[in-house]
Amino acid sequence: MNDLDDRFLTRNGLAARQLASLLMHHELDTRLPRVRDFAEQLGCGNGTVQAALRLLEESGAIVTSARGHLGTFLVRSDRTVLWRLSGLGTLLAAMPLPYSRRYEGLATGLRGAFEESGAPFAVTFMRGAGARTAALLEGKVDMVVLSRFAADQLIAEHPVELVADLGPATYVGAHGMLVRRGVDTDTPGLRVAIDHSSQDLRMLVERVFAGREDIEWKEASYMQLHDLFAQGEVDATVWNLDEARGRIGQGVEVRPLGDEVTRELALRNSSAAVICRVDGARTSTAVRAALDLSLVTRIQAEVLRSERLPSY
């Protein structure tokens, strides 16, 4: 196998690595693109493509069958070998801290989907979509999990792209306004907790209280909310109810978010999204191909229903 690995460092081997990425999720018993189509896509000659395909067959990554005028068909493939030969390595995802069962289910679902596809996967946990995106831009992680709401904002500001949207209630269940019992939110000088490290919550709370110049802003994280409300240091905030449940005392009531715009923002905030760097085309393609979104959401739902133990 060492001799074969050395051959993958040649020009033909480089083409074989690129082909491995393209073939990783090619459906079995379907016709492969023509050699000249591969050559055009890879920017090399037909002979190089033919040699690369032979290398992949000799490595046990694929088995093909020539069927005359019908073309060449992919009979068998080993996704684990294809992934290794592609040189992509272990995909590292940055996710929010797993403080809710929903996040645990999401991490478990992502791991399950990548394992099913034969892609090595690891996860690191970081608080704040901005911090996770900075790690992505610095090349420390390969992908970031965040809300679709935050993803849209960051895509507009940075060279990152959306590679998956898992749909409503995959990131958080709902948001609501938390108000200290007996407090009128129209009261001048209302003390509102805000977490600037969270792109989602900052935008939501600013939208809910837009136009209020009398607000006294209080910087706070979800871990501080219980004490801040209990000690009477804050009057209100907008928060992820997955986090708030069980952490906020009896003296706090949950109120629905108001206008249609805020509800639409909260809906986008509830959807989990995955982003990658724009210049990481091979990674983005591999992630799109590897992620079976229905499998991710099914596993997440099983964790939420306590039918599966979290594993990430």
User: In whole angstroms, what is the distance from residue 178 CA to residue 136 CA?
Assistant: 33
175-268 classified as CATH 3.40.190.10: yes
User: In whole angstroms, what is the distance from residue 274 CA to residue 270 CA?
Assistant: 13
pLDDT of residue 310: 95
pTM of the model: 0.71
Tell me the sheet residues that pair with 240: 175
* Residue ranges with strand state E in 117-235: 121-125, 143-147, 160-165, 175-180, 191-194, 216-219
Mean pLDDT (whole number) for 109-115? 93
CATH class of the domain whose range is 2-82: mainly alpha
Task: Extract the tokens encoding 284.
Answer: 């983005």
User: In whole angstroms, what is the distance from residue 48 CA to residue 234 CA?
Assistant: 67
List, for residues 120-159, the tens digit of each pLDDT value.
Answer: 889 999 988 889 999 999 999 999 999 998 899 899 999 9
User: In whole angstroms, what is the distance from residue 229 CA to residue 244 CA?
Assistant: 12
91-171+271-304 classified as CATH 3.40.190.10: yes
**Domain 91-171+271-304 shares a fold with domain 175-268:** yes
pLDDT for residue 3 is more than 50: no
pLDDT of residue 1: 44
**Look-up of token digits 């040699």:** 51
The CA-based dihedral angle spanning residues 287, 142, 163, 158, taken in that order and rounded to the nearest 10 degrees = -160
Domain boundaries of the chain, sorted by first residue: 2-82, 91-171+271-304, 175-268
Q: What percent of the chain has pLDDT over 70?
A: 94
pLDDT of residue 25: 74
Give Cα separations from 142 to 89, 92, 114 (angstroms): 10, 5, 13
Mean pLDDT (whole number) for 21-35? 87
pLDDT for residue 4 is more than 60: no
